[in-house]
Structure 1
Amino acid sequence: MIMQVGITGGIGAGKSYICRLFKVLGVPIYNADNSAKMLMVEDPEIIELVTTNFGKQSYFPNGMLNRKYLATQIFTDESKLQMMNEIVHPKVRKHYNDWVEIQLRKNDYIIKEAALMFTNDHYKELDKVIVVKAPYEDRIKRVLERDKRPKQQIEEIINKQRKEEELSVLGDYFVSNDDSKLIIPQVIELHRQFSEMNSLVSKS
């Protein structure tokens, strides 16, 4: 069975950058957040549930997601955030499991990238979880440059996500995305360890 590794961390921590490095090393990457966005505009059941529960303004006339509107709905109301997760997460889980089936016997291991790795029990299906950590101010700066969101909204998102102290307890491995350590050597070392682990499992 293929080894499944999760990568998580708060918004702006640098998860996607770390995943790009693993991809360069030949590791298949499943981006749960991108898959969720794709399913929200392609899956008829999700579209119907989102429209019913959040209003027709959730989608533009061309069918694209009104992200700004939904962000104001979700990140100001905990119950609405929970509702959205209940609509989208089961579909993403099935989509991921189908993707894993395709990767079987082709690779030493695969990586699943998700911001909300520990909001449900799905992480327990993974063999290992990497937590990407970065200083608070660095995270805000990255998201400001990337998404052009208001700083207050970014801070609200960070405050609603799990604190790094909590992630540190739940994670198996850690990548420090700051000035204390070089990133690439950390990723190469993890790649070596995961490849060896899967090799040992395959031989047993």
Structure 2
Amino acid sequence: MSQFIVGLTGGIGSGKTTVANLFAAQGIDIIDADIIAREVVAPSSEGLNEIVNHFGTEVLLDKGGLDRQALREKIFRNPEERQWLNQCLHPKIRQRMIELVKKSSSIYTLLVVPLLFENGLDSLVDRTLVIDITEEQQVNRTAHRDNSSTEIIKNIIKSQMSRDDRLSKADDVISNQGERQQLEQAVIALHRKYLTLSEKS
């Protein structure tokens, strides 16, 4: 892939979608791993068929779609099942990402991947951007957004790379702990930087 690619990541509740939308407003193509992850388990997809063959029909909704809550409960306390699911879906997600990057027409492309470093997908990008907030903010924002329990959110945070490790791997960092205006200014500054880097690559 000759195109300049920026990998955007951050812990749960850090504001990845908000930041991605600000880059999109600058005319940049966004490829979101979460959206692709839903596509690869859509009804009648190969991914969904493999999941049903492995876990049984109790992970299906009445209309034939994936019951995410039922699946989450099956893998939440079982690392081996979680590993099986990752090995099933990650190659499909990665392949679809590569296909979409090739179709991208903006001067650089933003790849939004929650587990960019954990799943080794930083190997696909030229530069990494981490959206950073405190763990306390992660818990508060996610609880407000998803109505999830604090226990579940903290378990998700524990399953992700630590804040310090993530920051140590980042080429660029945006702090999302302040006002919206500061966030917009940070995105515009990085957008200009990425335009320059794209032209050089």
TM-score normalised by length of structure 2: 0.93
> 2-side partners of 1:43 and 1:110: how far apart?
30
**Displacement of 1:66:** 0.8
Deviates more, 1:123-132 or 1:141-150: 141-150
- The secondary structure found in structure 1 opposite 2:41 is helix
Query: Does structure 2 conserve the Cα–Cα contact (< 8 Å) formed by 1:75 and 1:157?
Result: no
Residue 61 of structure 1 is matched in structure 2 by 62
Deviates more, 1:172-181 or 1:56-65: 172-181
Residue 41 of structure 2 is matched in structure 1 by 40
Residue 115 of structure 2 is matched in structure 1 by 116
> 2-side partners of 1:166 and 1:155: how far apart?
17
Residue 125 of structure 1 is matched in structure 2 by 124
Residue 29 of structure 1 is matched in structure 2 by 30
Deviates more, 1:14-23 or 1:176-185: 176-185
Deviates more, 1:50-59 or 1:29-38: 50-59
Residue 148 of structure 2 is matched in structure 1 by 149
Query: Does structure 1 conserve the Cα–Cα contact (< 8 Å) formed by 2:10 and 2:16?
Result: yes
**Displacement of 1:175:** 0.8
Gap change, CA 1:43 and 1:35, over 3 Å in 2:
farther
> 2-side partners of 1:7 and 1:153: how far apart?
24
Residue 190 of structure 2 is matched in structure 1 by 190
**Deviations 1:36-92, CA, capped at 9 Å, x for gaps:** 012111463211221122221111121222111112222222222211111111111
Detail structure 1 runs of 4+ shifted over 3 Å in the superposition: none
- Number of matched residues? 199
Q: Aligned Cα RMSD in Å?
A: 1.6
> 2-side partners of 1:120 and 1:145: how far apart?
27
Residue 199 of structure 1 is matched in structure 2 by 199
Deviates more, 1:127-136 or 1:42-51: 42-51
Pairing 1:168–2:163 present: no
| Residue type at the aligned position of 1:18 | V
- The secondary structure found in structure 2 opposite 1:62 is coil
TM-score normalised by length of structure 1: 0.92
**Deviations 1:89-138, CA, capped at 9 Å, x for gaps:** 111111111111111xx221000101111123331121001011111121
> 2-side partners of 1:176 and 1:27: how far apart?
21
Residue 74 of structure 2 is matched in structure 1 by 73
**Displacement of 1:2:** 1.4
Residue ranges of structure 2 left out of the alignment (5+ in a row): none
| Residue type at the aligned position of 1:130 | L
**Deviations 1:135-184, CA, capped at 9 Å, x for gaps:** 11211122112212222111111111111111112111111110389211
- The secondary structure found in structure 2 opposite 1:34 is helix
| Residue type at the aligned position of 2:119 | N
Query: Does structure 1 conserve the Cα–Cα contact (< 8 Å) formed by 2:7 and 2:125?
Result: yes
Residue 136 of structure 2 is matched in structure 1 by 137
> 1-side partners of 2:44 and 2:198: how far apart?
34
